[in-house]
Chain A
């Protein structure tokens, strides 16, 4: 199977996850067995079948871009782990 040590490192990096070696081995084995199981989809003839992206009866609608509230900065920022004067604070990115 293609889900090897290199793949899990690449995928974990894409998903911004990082684990110790033993967890990595466990997740690798789990995903490998899940991928083995989904292999059965290869036996289905899907020639000419359009992918089904959404079962919603509606086309994506666009609504007017208008202000509906405001002055709720404090409420919104209340969930920020770190903020200063209404800004989100993250580790320094530029020296």
Chain B
């Protein structure tokens, strides 16, 4: 019998269409795997009743000949940053631990309209701030890839670490993630799955708990480039509730996967190979370059001269925007309140208690860089350097079709190693992902090789604005050439 929890979405869709399996069977297989996989702590909230109701409705549609498309009946998980009507949405925080949104985010609504089955809400770093899920109020998620001793001692990355771990372990077929400075691409690399941060303005941010509004972008995570293409097609598109979304037609992303990238120019940015780059990562990057060359692409050395400034620019801008966005949590409207004698005391007590220390650190930094006397020196200067970073990419894309770079500076790290790191040390994990976030360019992360200790290492394909099609097309070729079909050892029940 087919192992339903290892199928790709495209394969399952085929079996559903041929009526060899039902959406209810597919959903039940995943619900059973989720139960076995609880040791990973990938889900904050499981929604089995909702999932079975969705699946039954899907089977009825298909029986009546009115299936909604390729995703009808596909079980997915949503990052717990997406508001889901009537289903608790916590942003992995104490502040929103009991928050039940009365409305649905645009992206999850679109996925619902495409017939997908929601299995539950997956873990993230608190308010999407972090790269490990260690800042979650609901505990860390464990990377399903084990260390050399076979122990679950590694972080899944973050912030979309719950999404990445659930996809890798077969606890869902695909998941929504969100990416502000690498939150889809880095966990995808750590967990050996595929994820794309689309162009800023491709997907609506309406109903996604806001972190840094000029950077936040929704995107899919799955076990193949094609599956990401299918999910992205359903998630993208103009929305009257988010005026930053482009009013552009959504291409058929899956149709772009032609398998032929002959003549494509792929840029290799020299600034992404600093002295001391992790050898394992460098090796996989070199392998990726060779595979694309073998596939007929033209490899071009390029320079993105302001790369080294991306991290500090990112942390200033993201924290500034976060300090403003998170001011709404005031103890009046969002369930959590710690009493105080005056209104200000109530605000202070609620916010100090409801936010974790990483969130507080970022609010403090953001408030500081926006405060009188420091605004120009920090915030405005960061926005000026952001333009230089943006211009670097624009210039590079005059000569290349896409850029190939590592997704993360290391394979998955252990909890113990991360606990010993200073805030700045942990921020360095975003070194390869923040530049394209600041530029708003689309970037795909896919697993291409393994480290010496058997951990997945991903590469990133960065493309021109609104040219996800080329990014996915190149990614699909690289995926097939790399032949990375490894999955972590299945969780024992």
Contacts and interface: CB of A to CB of B under 8 A. Distances in A.
B331 interface: yes
Interface of B: 99-100, 102, 200-201, 214, 240, 243-247, 306, 308-309, 312-313, 315-316, 323, 327, 330-337, 339-349, 351-352, 355, 357, 360-361, 363-365, 367-368, 371, 374, 378, 380-388, 390, 422-424, 427, 438-440, 465-466
B438 to A, nearest CB: 8
Contacts of B100: 78-79
Interface of A: 2-3, 7-8, 10-12, 14-19, 27, 30-31, 33-35, 37-38, 40-42, 44, 46, 49-58, 60-61, 63, 72, 75-76, 78-82, 88, 90-91, 93
A38 B291 CA distance: 37
B337 A81 contact: yes
B351 A56 contact: no
B360 A54 contact: no
A14 to B, nearest CB: 5
A93 B371 contact: no
A40 B309 contact: yes
A75 B337 CA distance: 19
B352 A18 contact: yes
Contact of B244 (A46, A54, A88): A54
A46 B381 contact: yes
A60 B243 contact: yes
Contacts of B200: 55-56
A74 B399 CA distance: 57
B364 A55 contact: no
Question: What 4 A-B pairs come out closest when comparing CB atoms?
Answer: A55-B440, A51-B383, A81-B337, A52-B387
A36 B273 CA distance: 24
Nearest to B99: A79
Given A56-B243, A91-B340, 8 more contacts: A11-B364, A34-B423, A52-B390, A57-B201, A75-B102, A78-B102, A79-B335, A93-B342
Nearest to A56: B244
Contacts of A61: 243
A42 B339 CA distance: 43
Contact of A27 (B343, B349, B360, B390): B360
B423 A30 contact: yes
B333 A80 contact: yes
A45 B108 CA distance: 43
A27 B363 CA distance: 11
A57 B439 CA distance: 12
27 contacts: A11-B364, A11-B367, A15-B363, A19-B352, A27-B357, A27-B361, A30-B361, A31-B361, A34-B361, A34-B423, A41-B312, A41-B385, A44-B309, A44-B384, A49-B384, A49-B385, A51-B384, A56-B243, A57-B201, A58-B247, A78-B102, A79-B102, A79-B333, A80-B333, A81-B335, A90-B332, A91-B346
A33 B423 contact: yes
A51 B380 contact: yes
A67 to B, nearest CB: 14
B16 to A, nearest CB: 34
A63 B240 contact: yes
Contact of B246 (A44, A58, A78): A58
Contact of A41 (B214, B309, B363): B309
A84 to B, nearest CB: 13
Contacts of A30: 361, 422-423
Contact of A44 (B306, B331, B333, B465): B306
A17 B352 contact: yes
